[in-house]
Structure 1
Amino acid sequence: MRSNNRELTFMLHYSQSGEREQAPIVFLHAAGFDGRIWRKTQELLPDFNCVCPDLPGHGNSRQIPVRDFDAVADEVADLISHLGKGHVHLAGLSMGSYIGFRLMVRRPDLVKSAVFSGFQHDPIRVSVFIRALMHASSWMMNSKRNREKMARSLGVADASLVSFKGSRPIATSSTMRKISSLALNFDVTADLAGVTTPTLVLAGETEHPAILSSLSTFQSEMPNCTARLVPGHGHGWIAREPELFADSLRAWFSETPLPDGLTTIAEE
């Protein structure tokens, strides 16, 4: 069996880099991307064991359907069990954060600590008009030019990271619509008090108001949660400030002070 970029019929495709004897960091990407989005982070953390799967419906795991975030979390749990390292650290962005949180709820025995960015704890109310725009935008992502424009808006400079095998979209339009609906309706309010995994929740300063307002809720309702803002940035801050993100992961997973580039939030 190959030791890298393994793809099995019963498992998510993933890549792995860094120090294999360390507890793995499992990176969970945003919708419309795949595990390659973490390449810069992997380069900045050569002394960590970085595992980057393509999540269901995306890239080399696109044959696995996205039913709901719990089902995807179970797929990630299977991958973690396959790694055979016991507890892992989680790092998630946007869709990856929703999935990672559900994994902590369902399988707390698998997660040592977590860092999530760009998600909220309860449903986002949007108008019918906005939902229609989101539906239309999922079709627009079939255009390579539109995908690259979206990636640039998030600070992703490498255009190849938004296409699969040259020019195809990484995820289908139907997958993107499904994920948008799941994200808008995400609600873990009842689960917060029971999640004891040490968790760092991050958000760019100009994120959606629902994401920003959730920071204080995560911090106050979860027993071992810390929330921080990234000044001057939005949803795609990780691509624009890769060193700050890597430093944040290193600090949280090593239980050392967080970098100065993160700012505290006001308590409720």
Structure 2
Amino acid sequence: MSSELNHQISHSSWIPDSPTTIILIHGAFASSTWWDLVIPHLSGYHILAPNLPGHGQSSEKEFSIQNATTTITQLIRSHAKDSHAHIVGHSLGARVAIHIAETNPSLVDSVFISGYGSLPQTALTPYIPYAVWMTQRLENLVPRSVIRWAMDGTDIPRIDTRLSTLRLCQSVMAPTETKGPKPWNARTCIIVAGKGGIVPSADSRSAAVRLLEIGKLGNKSTVAFWHPDMRHPWIRQDPGLFADSVKAWIEGRELPHGFEMIVS
């Protein structure tokens, strides 16, 4: 594994001699280290795990979907094998992954995303970043053992509140266009983690259906699945299953047992 900080974005790299590159894009208020449980299951692939602007070692950068897209596409051009890669995005990273596929199709071999969502403009929108900022600090006070108990063993690291500033919350929680992205031509798999319960951790199925309909306009091979036992942060709940699902999609095989197809 190697790690470097260039003038654009910090990232880590694994197995650089592999002929096939996977880009792992993490979610909001996390960093590339959130993939540390998944990466050991992706042996055989060249892995690039960037820190989104405003996050981790890229915290000095200003976050926006466009800024994230620009920096990650530069990373693909300069470090991915033959300047193209399979794009994997979780949560906020899913939005970035779709935007990369939409705006830079020549760089993308396939897309695998989970936890896609959007934030519409409402009367409450200006107050959401403040609520997120406060919630993060309250959640950090909860023992990790309690969180693992409530979320089926999900190993969620504490958020570094020194980096998760109110300004970052405002940037991340900025409302998105209600129409969604334009159709993109990459072969795409959309995953919905379906389990809620005591902790409301299920993904939005309706958001996935809307995205599926748009995706099919660009590539009829676009599909969506949901898993009733996985929670939103399933990269930390069952990292082996997540990695096996990514590999199955990249390699053109059926997803592991437990996924159910969503029909739009």
Q: If the TM-score is normalised by the length of the shorter chain, which range does it land in? A: 0.7 to 0.9
Whole-Å separation in 2 of the counterparts to 1:125 and 1:232: 31
1:42 matches 2:33:
no
Q: In the alignment, which of 160, 164, 172 is matched to residue 165 of structure 2?
A: 172
Letter in 2 for 1:6: E
Whole-Å separation in 2 of the counterparts to 1:225 and 1:187: 21
Whole-Å separation in 1 of the counterparts to 2:88 and 2:136: 25
Whole-Å separation in 2 of the counterparts to 1:117 and 1:147: 26
Q: How does 1:41-120 map to 2 (within 5 A)?
A: 41-66=38-63, 68-85=64-81, 86-120=83-117
Aligned match of 1:138: 133
Letter in 2 for 1:185: T
Whole-Å separation in 1 of the counterparts to 2:95 and 2:177: 8
In terms of mean alpha carbon deviation, does 108-117 or 136-145 score higher?
A: 136-145
Aligned match of 1:199: 188
Q: In the alignment, which of 164, 176, 179 is matched to residue 185 of structure 1?
A: 176
How many residues are paired up?
252
Runs of 4+ in 1 over 6 A off after TM superposition: 147-151
What are the ranges of 5 or more consecutive residues in structure 2 without an aligned counterpart? 195-201
Q: Point out the structure with the larger helix share.
A: 1
Whole-Å separation in 2 of the counterparts to 1:242 and 1:190: 28
Aligned match of 1:231: 228
RMSD: 2.8
Aligned match of 2:120: 124
What are the ranges of 5 or more consecutive residues in structure 1 without an aligned counterpart? none
Whole-Å separation in 1 of the counterparts to 2:154 and 2:170: 22
Kept in 2, the 8 Å contact 1:230–1:261? The answer is: yes
Shift of 1:186: 4.1
Letter in 1 for 2:97: G
Letter in 2 for 1:35: S
Aligned match of 1:157: 155
Cα distance, 1:186–1:242 mapped onto 2, change above 3 Å: farther
Aligned match of 1:211: 207
Kept in 1, the 8 Å contact 2:147–2:154? The answer is: yes
Shift of 1:71: 2.1
Letter in 1 for 2:193: G
Kept in 2, the 8 Å contact 1:34–1:58? The answer is: yes
Whole-Å separation in 2 of the counterparts to 1:246 and 1:240: 12
Cα distance, 1:16–1:84 mapped onto 2, change above 3 Å: closer
